[in-house]
A and B are shown apart, each in its own frame.
Chain A
């Protein structure tokens, strides 16, 4: 049995390093060095491994704030199954990390939303790991891993948060096949689109953690076992010619070259129905968000507004004060498209389009084994280049959405060329195709070795 405390790195105990680094970065929502020092790690392959958990995933005794004022002070009474499985193998929860409110990326730039975003606005994480500036902060989970404050992090991936943030911070991020990792304990906003994902410094670490957290859980009726025959295999990679930012172009070419050299066949094969990804996602996610966030009313838990005269005004005030602008906009959108006449026009059509997208991907993955796509970084959004309308911003984000719509696994990985900042690309496979994604990412890592986080002891790199 090892204690986390006293893991020396350049003569500094781990918790001292984390405390100092955290002051600069601010990745954690709740981080309790005393807890970390006092807690001894259990036995197992991950004994003593410092784990960061995004604040919308339940850890008993930690606040489950979901980045929202609505859940200020809400302490979770349970621990998510994925976290529990890692704890059972010896991992120790170092703290919970910050996120955008309920993981919903703000589609509106400041000019539209004013300065009344969620609490994130006041204290953006990212800092050291943020790709550009603080306008679009990345989630704390990837920041914590990139800065070496945690060896691995669990975070949710609905519209690409895990991959987007991992890409921004130069680390690996996995969105597993839908249903393979239990969602018990994840405060889902869009249950059919969201998964618990993994962020780590190497593909090998992501795989190790994924293999522990995956599989059927009685607490999540949608969870299922990973089929045994879905091992590695398949080296045919489809791509799609796209123009990406000049800084990304070089990395893109380098990755294609590397894959070719390492025995993968790469060919042009655009993934199906791309023009539908954004509208279908937008409609379904908004509808599910409006439904799932209905439970936050200030009555049973979370924020309670004082002085309400009747139950209705209590709920109105709690939701009015508790939710940020992006959340409110999505609830409005979702509520409207579930009502006639828009329901049929938008929601019902999106449901059938989604089924078509799934079928099209089934067919597509008969032709190729994986598809290589860019990861849409948060900096791609923001409407600073003339596309000043919501669909325009979302459209730049579209590469992250297909996996959610079709329940596919996707792994984002960093590619660093010419000493520049790492650029995030992603590989997406058929359901349960995680192993082939790891295989390809490991092959690429031979050419683009991941940066080693400064803080962690050698054991955790």
Chain B
């Protein structure tokens, strides 16, 4: 029996305003080759100058993933000839990566923790576009900052790999270092898959055992969504398991995920050497990462999604699902905690954020931060429900109006005349009218059928466009019937 060993290599595109070794802006969708300069085009005589913002973000991420950080930042040149690579070498970190020996906790899946082998800073390549028999090159992306994260082969299923990517996505978004969008290439993932015989255990992070393993390592590329990662890895592990079950051997190769066919396919062998002839990048002197600098970066670390989720459950008595929803985006969790601090009932606030607020945000394609709903307005709205006695329907309408007009809930309710009707003399005529209009229900109620009370109350609410205080309506109905007036 065999156990899959899956490792991921993930590229994170950092959200810096400029490229990693030159001042060109990092932007997507501009006119091709409009965001370039002699440095990112590799002109003779150009020299790289490290972008401090890229370094800060990489260090922040290394801290968040519990890596031990190198005493100084060193770069190497990794050579391969490819037209989208301006210098035909990539400035990256091979000999001394920025971070080593980190870990990442999967948010669900039994709290599994996966080792991070290394984390390093490097530059992106440009883009090659094939148009008919012509090849076009766009270097706008060349020199954009990337962080590459390499995990140990400790994942066993496609689902775990997908979970890891989702957990990492949350973290990079929390830190504000990457937008985490896999479809747009902000997070890119390659995987390697091999099989080890069950019972043969390795210490986490250790290399495959020496000797000839039954399953050679297969690299899988072209995984541009977390769903494809799951599908491709599930396909690949069962493919390899089947080969081994039939006594065959798995060839070490690179395979591509074919989205349409739902299979992985061996990549055409380009006969390329995997020997990158790395040399130290002597154009960049080693940059000392002194403890003071690293402490400064560490202070920028925010509470990460996993521990925050646990805290929300513990401190606010939320369900796991509710906490999971709130911590998906840092904005939402922050909003929730500010609302709770302003006196909102945590569970009610969480449920509003999960249902009504989310529904409107999705419909309007807005983020919470961009919307007119402030935590103060939500607290006010919940207060109107709890203390002011407005009903659920009015509350939902009020929320819509907050989004539409950007005004405070109390003001909207007052102006629209949506305050609850709580005076007996105002409600009495309504109740009498309802009882007169529905003699059958009135009779049933007198005969002790309580369902009729709900029906009549509903009719009274409808009559007042939801403004009637339901409790008072019920009391009035009983009073009127008792007095024999209905």
Contact = CB atoms under 8 A, between A and B. Distances in A.
Given A57-B45, A221-B48, A294 B89 contact: yes
Q: Tell me the dominant secondary structure on chain B's binding face.
A: loop
A320 interface: no
Interface in A300-315: 300-301, 310-312, 314-315
B455 to A, nearest CB: 77
A84 to B, nearest CB: 12
A340 interface: yes
A185 B45 contact: yes
Given A221-B49, A288-B279, A299-B137, A66 B83 contact: no
Contacts of B45: 56-58, 64, 76, 78, 80, 184-188
A36 interface: no
A220 interface: yes
Interface stretch (B149-157, B281-289, B381-389, B462-470): B281-289
A221 B39 CA distance: 13
A222 interface: yes
A325 interface: no
Nearest to A77: B38
B279 A219 contact: no
28 contacts: A56-B45, A58-B44, A64-B45, A78-B43, A78-B46, A80-B45, A186-B45, A219-B49, A221-B48, A221-B50, A222-B284, A288-B279, A291-B89, A291-B277, A291-B279, A294-B89, A295-B42, A295-B88, A297-B81, A297-B83, A299-B83, A300-B41, A300-B43, A301-B43, A310-B135, A311-B135, A338-B279, A339-B277
A158 to B, nearest CB: 13
A220 B46 CA distance: 9
Nearest to A78: B38
Interface residues of B, number: 32
Given A291-B89, A300-B86, A301-B43, A191 B282 contact: yes
Contacts of B49: 218-219, 221
Interface in B134-154: 135, 137, 139
Which A-B residue pairs are the 6 nearest by beta carbons?
A187-B44, A294-B88, A338-B277, A192-B282, A295-B42, A295-B87
A4 B41 CA distance: 36
B370 interface: no
Nearest to B81: A315
Interface string A198-233: 000000000000000000001111100000000000
Contacts of A57: 45
A71 interface: yes
Chain A at the B interface: SS class: loop
Contacts of A66: 44
Nearest to A298: B83
Interface residues of A, number: 44
B83 A71 contact: no
A300 B279 CA distance: 24
Interface string A29-72: 00000000000000000000000000011100000101000010
Nearest to A80: B45
Interface string B2-35: 0000000000000000000000000000000000
A21 interface: no
Contacts of B275: 339-340
A291 B47 contact: no
A395 interface: no
Given A221-B283, A294-B79, A311-B135, 13 more contacts: A64-B45, A80-B45, A188-B45, A188-B283, A191-B282, A218-B49, A222-B283, A222-B284, A297-B83, A299-B83, A299-B137, A300-B41, A315-B81
Of listed A57, A221, A287, A312, residue having the most chain B CB within 10 A: A221
B285 A222 contact: yes
Contacts of A222: 47, 282-285
A262 to B, nearest CB: 39
Contact of A294 (B81, B128, B137, B285): B81
Contacts of A310: 135
B217 interface: no
B79 A291 contact: yes
Contact of A77 (B43, B79, B82, B89): B43
